[in-house]
Amino acid sequence: MGVVTGGGYAGLRAWPIGEDAPRITLDGDVRRGAYLARAAGCVACHTDTAADGPALAGGAPLDTPFGSFVPPNITPDFEHGIGSWTPDDLARALREGVSPEGEPYYPAFPFEFYAGFSDQDIADLWAALATVPAVAETRAESSVGFPFSIRSGLKPWRASAMREAESRPVLGRSDEWNRGRELVEGAAHCGACHTGRGLLGGLDAESFGGNDDLPGGSAAPSIRAADLTEGGWTASALAYALETGITPSGDVLGGSMTEVVEQGSSFLDESDRRAIATYLLDPETKPSSLNALAQLR
């Protein structure tokens, strides 16, 4: 990413991004929205469980080569959270990675995986977030070094990489397989951790091949079908691990998967955990987690 100065910077700031503003007018289902918040990692990311922080009042910092990103407060507090947002603001943030002020979010926020969320998904999630106690707690600002600190510089990067999300079921596949695909490639955003990233943070072309450079210096293994099978994983074992954190060898999942299980996948229905396992263990599965910010190296 080159240095942006003078008229170039002004031009980037004026460059519109995203689609026309959405209009979310549907009534939301609180229970379904709460379920989606668990599946999508909202609770795990935006709650600092290590510090016993309030739910969704902001997560622990994510240290990356680009800087330290602090998941913000997404409770209904008007000053410190998203209480001043509208459902349309939430839709644009999740599906396009754009703030209410029109600024692009950094890909530490996995909005590319949420691009396929329907209007009903957004309405449900909005209804659920409105029930969370507002927390008047300020989070530290993310600390990103120059030139990545110039958010407007993300606009041409995004324009070259964003692609339309594919959410239609695959014909000839079972309902379980398609549900697993919907979760893995969408809300559960498995590829955000289990796929490596290139020089500028774009997802690697080697989908689900593992990632040795996660925030904090941790790593995520390959979750390709062949590698999972070689490691002794079966659909039942994988579904059980997503519920309990226990692996086929009797060990426990560590790193960020601890939070994923405790705050996310353990709350899913058994049928959804099984669907995820079925999709990942199918040797013919071709992960398409590059559905948005893809192959940018």
* Residue among 211, 217, 165, 163 nearest 191 (CA): 211
Is the CB of residue 144 less than 8 Å from the CB of residue 6? Answer: no
Which range, of 158-167, 193-202, 271-280, averages the lowest pLDDT? 158-167
**Banded model confidence at residue 155, pLDDT cuts 50, 70, 90:** low
What digits encode the pLDDT tens for the residues 270-285? 999 999 999 999 988 7
Is the CB of residue 155 less than 8 Å from the CB of residue 104? Answer: yes
Domains of the chain, residue spans: 25-161, 175-281
Helix (H) or strand (E) holding 226: helix 225-230
* Residue among 59, 30, 199 nearest 124 (CA): 30
What digits encode the pLDDT tens for the residues 46-73? 999 888 899 999 988 877 666 678 889 9
Whole-model pTM: value is: 0.83
- Distance (Å, whole) CA 215 – CA 32: 30
Beta bridge partners of 220: 211
Is the CB of residue 101 less than 8 Å from the CB of residue 151? Answer: no
**Banded model confidence at residue 36, pLDDT cuts 50, 70, 90:** very high
Helix (H) or strand (E) holding 143: strand 143-144
**Banded model confidence at residue 83, pLDDT cuts 50, 70, 90:** very high
